[in-house]
A and B are shown apart, each in its own frame.
Chain A
């Protein structure tokens, strides 16, 4: 299979996933999109394996490796910093709160540091950040290892 056909199939899969995502949001069926996403990724992987004019040599593998590693290094710090907040939400027990401990007559008040919706938005933002980081690092390392070098030849 030629590289261009692969990109075409990739575009179709992306469009199909977008349509399924839209439908999932409209009909509130997240499971549908989750399954479609996994199938989409598997399809992309299987199609990629059939492409025969992709030359992946050690330099391109190194660029991918370096970009992925740097993305991971930045992403896990951001993700962990945010997750601390989410974990606090999860672990906060009103019955063990200081107010309730000193005044047993008071009703334990349930508190939320952040609403689940906001947590969802931030997670979405972090995922987008990861994609942008990866693309950025990929450009950086591709340039560093001479991807856009020109020659007299």
Chain B
């Protein structure tokens, strides 16, 4: 799961702390999501995207791990 939280934060001039406070989580959680260490629940993902007033798929994207071994 990839996300553009960092980009949207920069666009809205928000710190991790600001975003965390406004959606009711810890700063560490925002940091963990940004770094890809933690995959948020659907509920939290919706809250984050609604905070930036965009659709969920604009902030979060799911990528299949495609193995291309042996394919030229």
Contact = CB atoms under 8 A, between A and B. Distances in A.
Interface of A: 55, 57-60, 62, 144-147, 149, 151, 153
Interface string B22-60: 001110110110110110110110000000000000000
Contacts of B40: 58
Given A145-B38, A146-B37, A146-B38, A57 B29 contact: yes
B13 to A, nearest CB: 13
A116 to B, nearest CB: 47
B9 to A, nearest CB: 9
A111 B6 CA distance: 69
Chain A interface SS verdict (over half): loop
Given A59-B32, A151-B16, A153-B15, A145 B25 contact: no
B26 A146 contact: no
B16 A145 contact: no
A149 B31 contact: yes
A62 B37 CA distance: 13
Contacts of A145: 32, 37-38
Contacts of B29: 57-60
Given A146-B31, A153-B16, A55 B25 contact: yes
Nearest to A148: B28
A86 to B, nearest CB: 42
A55 B37 contact: no
Contacts of A60: 26, 29
